[in-house]
Chains A and B, each alone.
Chain A
Amino acid sequence: MSEPADLVVVGAGPAGMAAAVTALAGGLRVVLVDSGPAVGGQFWRHPPEHARVAIPTGDLHHGLREYLALCAALSAGRAAGRLDLRLAHHVWSAVRDDEFAVHAADRREAPRERPVVLRAPRLLVATGAYDRQLPFPGWDLPGVLTIGGLQALLKGGGVAAGSRVALGGTGPFLLPVAAGLAARGIAVVTVCEAADPRAWLRHPGALLRNPGKWAEGAGYAAVLARHRVPVRPRTAITGAEGGERVTSVRIASLTSDGSPRPGTERRVEVDAVGVGWGFAPQLDLLLPFGCELTDSADGNAVVAVDDGQRTTVPGLYAAGEACGVGGAPLAVAEGRLAAESVLADSGAAPALSRKSLVRARATVARQRAFARAMSMAHPVPAAWSSWLTDETVVCRCEEVTAGAVRAACAEGGAHDHRQVKQLTRAGMGWCQGRMCGPAVHCLAAQKRAYVPAERLVATPVTLGALAQLDE
């Protein structure tokens, strides 16, 4: 693609793919950039194209027909010279002067890095989310992974991280991961879901209006029943033990506030664990622009968008989990709406038919209602921090303990995660608080929504690559 682009889309997951495809259909020139080796994001994570025979993962996916249709449309866009697809490009900053400049490190020949600047008058950020973590004693033992990590190894590399696996946390994401592992012959010894399934009864409408979610859930339930995987509601993994590797977990029933019910704790032998407590949206590229944020029902601040996915910064759009965690169908619909706004704001004709547009809007409304109900039904347990001992590591990178974080709040007067960071180094390490941020936030300021620290550098980049940029 030699002519200047009309739109840069960061993130080639469901939202970014759908947005790019719609923008291409509307005649725009698009740059689609992603850090992964293939399009699909986390939800449709795939091995690179050339490896899909050696690593078959088709059985692990949901909604593959949509994925394949989007892939075909992207391929057509490339063939027509209107799509510049940049895989293995890590975006470390996006700024705006007279247009948007997206700064990336081209890592196709990793570890070599080459600086790349992608420019366009409009920018769409569809950077998704990652698992939200709550620390517990032993969560830093080898063999304890995020559930997303277990899933990524399975979908991306065809490998399982253990042979006897316990899963814990909350939210519907536990089920597909359990089903995927079970389908590959892994013994999933328990799935600890902290929430009370009866919580869903308070939101019957959201379920009834989303029959697709029913069907998906029923499918996982059938797989889990076939493999005799026990799903235990109102329980949690409250500790892990082991030396060089996790060897067992402690599981307890939870009271209504989420504290372990005395006397219910038992030990289960495992060689791997997966944990996740919903998701934290990836807002790193958006926050430095100063976009307005809004509280989402799951405890996260997310970027505020209008009904066309426009942020409060002109020319900047967002779609998918960055505007509120809600799953792939919502992300796809938001991506399409965002692209329609880009087309309209650029003075181009719409790409979607009136009927498709109405359908996308209805999907967004329905799926957001479902997401709200889901986050109400799967909250972070109020008393989760009662699992922590003072010695429990909270910040994995700088190895800051719960005791140090608590002291910073009680004695140091810290009342947000930023101050805790300054006083304890929690969140100052390699991951910049991406893992411990939500937990430190809960320990320091329970009531407010979590706004991640502003990260002017969205992903590490070598000083050598930056120096090349200066030349």
Chain B
Amino acid sequence: MSEIVVDGEPLPFVEGQTVAAALVAAGRVAWRTTRVQHRPRGVFCGIGVCFDCLVRIEGTGGQRACLVQAVAGMTVTTGEHDDE
């Protein structure tokens, strides 16, 4: 199994999974905090329509975790602890 790096921690994934699938496989369904009410959010539509699952990938924000294929060594930063 390969690994991506999520908020500095290694996270295993199966080749072919999206970043969201890797997070869900690890038991996580929330990894972002909403801008207004600071509520937890994660995967909802799973097909790139709802934008709930946004993460930062290799430093670029606004990436839909459900669409981006996990690649070994990819750096993922979640919005769990900020208000993005």
Q: Do chains A and B directly touch (beta carbons under 8 Å) in the complex?
A: yes
The chain A residues found within 8 Å of chain B, CB to CB, are: 35, 37, 42, 47-48, 50-52, 54-55, 107, 110-111, 130-131, 140-146, 148-153, 156-162, 244-245, 272, 393, 396-399, 429-431, 434-435, 459-460
Flag if A140 contacts B41 (CB, 8 Å): yes
Interfacial chain B residues near A50, Cβ < 8 Å:
15-16
Interfacial chain B residues near A130, Cβ < 8 Å:
45, 47, 49
Q: List 17 A-B contacts (CB under 8 A).
A: A50-B15, A54-B15, A110-B63, A111-B58, A140-B41, A142-B41, A148-B46, A152-B66, A153-B21, A153-B46, A156-B17, A157-B16, A157-B17, A157-B20, A434-B49, A435-B44, A435-B50
Q: How far is the CB of B56 from chain A (nearest CB, A)?
A: 9
Encoded as 1 (CB less than 8 Å from any A CB) or 0, chain B from 61 to 84 comes to 011001111000000000000000
CA distance A140 to B52 in the complex (A): 10
A-B contact count (CB 8 A): 132
Flag if A111 contacts B60 (CB, 8 Å): yes
Flag if A149 contacts B25 (CB, 8 Å): no
Give B1-37 interface residues, CB cut-off 8 Å to A.
14-18, 20-22, 24-25, 29-30, 34-37
CA distance A152 to B18 in the complex (A): 10
Which residue from B16, B41, B62 sits with its C-beta under 8 Å from A54? B16
State whether A149 and B34 are in contact (beta carbons under 8 Å apart), knowing that A54-B14, A157-B18 are contacts in the complex. Answer: no
CA distance A162 to B27 in the complex (A): 8
Look across to chain A and name the residue whose beta carbon is closest to the beta carbon of B68: A110
Interfacial chain A residues near B49, Cβ < 8 Å:
130, 431, 434-435
CA distance A105 to B9 in the complex (A): 30
Interface residues in B, total, Cβ within 8 A: 40
Of B14, B46, B69, most buried by chain A (CB within 10 Å of CB) is B46
State whether A399 and B34 are in contact (beta carbons under 8 Å apart), knowing that A110-B63, A159-B25, A430-B54 are contacts in the complex. Answer: yes
Q: How far is the CB of A470 from chain B (nearest CB, A)?
A: 20
Flag if B21 contacts A146 (CB, 8 Å): no
Look across to chain A and name the residue whose beta carbon is closest to the beta carbon of B42: A142
Interfacial chain A residues near B48, Cβ < 8 Å:
35, 459
Flag if B51 contacts A146 (CB, 8 Å): no
CA distance A130 to B47 in the complex (A): 8
Of B20, B37, B57, most buried by chain A (CB within 10 Å of CB) is B20
Flag if B16 contacts A161 (CB, 8 Å): no
CA distance A42 to B66 in the complex (A): 13
Interfacial chain A residues near B67, Cβ < 8 Å:
35, 107, 110
Q: How far is the CB of B47 from chain A (nearest CB, A)?
A: 5
Interfacial chain B residues near A244, Cβ < 8 Å:
30, 40
Interfacial chain A residues near B60, Cβ < 8 Å:
111
Flag if A47 contacts B24 (CB, 8 Å): no
State whether A460 and B45 are in contact (beta carbons under 8 Å apart), knowing that A50-B16, A161-B24 are contacts in the complex. Answer: no
Flag if A156 contacts B44 (CB, 8 Å): no
Given contacts A55-B14, A157-B16, 14 further A-B contacts (CB under 8 A): A48-B69, A50-B15, A130-B45, A142-B29, A145-B43, A146-B45, A149-B44, A157-B18, A159-B25, A160-B24, A272-B29, A396-B41, A396-B44, A396-B52
